Amino acid sequence: MTSLFSDSISEIKQAATIIKQGGVVAFGTETVYGLGADATNSQAVQRIYQAKGRPSFNPLIIHFSDLDHVFQFVIKTELAHELALKFWPGALTLVLQQKKNTNTQISPIATANLSTMAVRIPSTKVARQLIKFSQKPIAAPSANSSGKISPSTAQHVFQELNHKIDAIIDSGPCQVGVESTILDLSNNVPTLLRPGGVTLEDLIPICGPIISNQPIETKIIAPGQLSSHYAPHLPVRLNCHEIFPDEALLAFGPPIEHTGLSKNLSNTANLEEAAQNLFAYLRFLDVQGRELGLKGIAVMPIPKTGLGLAICDRLTRAAAPRLA
């Protein structure tokens, strides 16, 4: 049975002890709930992959509690340092070249044997305390079955991973609601690998031109690059202006007329509110829709600006042909 912890200091310390002993613990961040293990312990990292059913070629993000700790493991470029000072702690992941002369190495399983590493400092107090108390960098993908809807509450994690992991720290709903932005700085020109909680509009004034990388299956260098991901069981249909009788509706702004099952990401078309609600509402429509015998989920159009770019990215992957 998976242990459920509160976000009290004493119970975070208990969870940190589990991490130090090679266990896996789910914990809330500002983006989504992560499934964490000691990033220097290959056996512990392997347990993350096993619990999620995650393919071994898909690397993990390594989470740190402070800036100095990050740059013990990766090469600090001028741009990386500037972005770190601006956006960390926060919902930005940077892909950087690993240092090879550190005393403690990150497990090659966590980085999928790549020369690069995806790193970030989460902004929630619980996440940083867990890292600090465990005295280890923590490898942590989203705390859900691989390819399925990401969890934004502790209950979502429990529903999917109970008996598969050691503990869950319940710190309430996630505030951003979509995963971190992943920016690759390992080459000459910054490349956006995954839009997320930090927008392109935020990054461009510091980075200048940013290449937007399309989903690829042949060279995965960071999480979130698989074309099919974040997927409910029901098929998802995008940019809908009409809803079929056997579909649930995921609305945005003034909704289309629909008398059946529906949820509205934001009645006022607020993208921050929509991002917070995205995964919880997708999960709700999927569960209730299947109970009602519905055949799919129709999604209204969402603008690809600000956080809308991240929302549309997640929905596009949710609607993609499913991996075998």
**What is the pLDDT at residue 188?**
85
**What is the pLDDT at residue 195?**
96
The DSSP call for residue 242 is S
pLDDT tens-digit map of 93-141: 999 999 986 666 899 999 999 999 999 999 999 999 999 999 999 999 9
d(CA 291, CA 298): 17
Phi/psi class of residue 279: alpha, beta or left (left: φ > 0; alpha: ψ in -120 to 50)?
alpha
**What is the pLDDT at residue 228?**
57
**What is the pLDDT at residue 219?**
64
**What is the pLDDT at residue 213?**
65
The DSSP call for residue 268 is T
pLDDT tens-digit map of 223-234: 666 655 678 999
d(CA 283, CA 304): 22
pLDDT tens-digit map of 295-310: 999 999 999 999 999 9
**What is the pLDDT at residue 64?**
97
Structure tokens at 11: 């119970």
- Give the residue with greater pLDDT, 323 vs 3: 3
**What is the pLDDT at residue 226?**
60
Least trusted range by pLDDT, from 153-157, 219-223, 308-312 = 219-223
| pLDDT, mean over the chain | 93
**What is the pLDDT at residue 225?**
61
Residue in this structure with the two tokens 């020369």, named with its chain if needed: 115
The DSSP call for residue 169 is E
Answer yes or no: are the C-beta atoms of 126 and 207 closer than 8 Å: no
**What is the pLDDT at residue 222?**
65
Q: What percent of the chain has pLDDT over 70?
A: 93
- Give the residue with greater pLDDT, 259 vs 45: 45
Check pLDDT > 50 for residue 280: yes
pLDDT tens-digit map of 169-185: 999 999 999 999 999 99
**What is the pLDDT at residue 231?**
83
Which band of pLDDT confidence, cut at 50, 70 and 90, is reported for residue 217? very low
**What is the pLDDT at residue 177?**
95
pLDDT tens-digit map of 242-269: 999 999 999 999 988 888 999 999 999 9
**Mode of pairing for the β-strands spanning 236-237 and 33-38:** unpaired
Helices (H), 196-259: 200-207
SS3 content of the chain, % helix, strand, coil (to 5): 30, 20, 50
Least trusted range by pLDDT, from 63-67, 102-106, 140-144, 194-198 = 102-106
**What is the pLDDT at residue 56?**
85
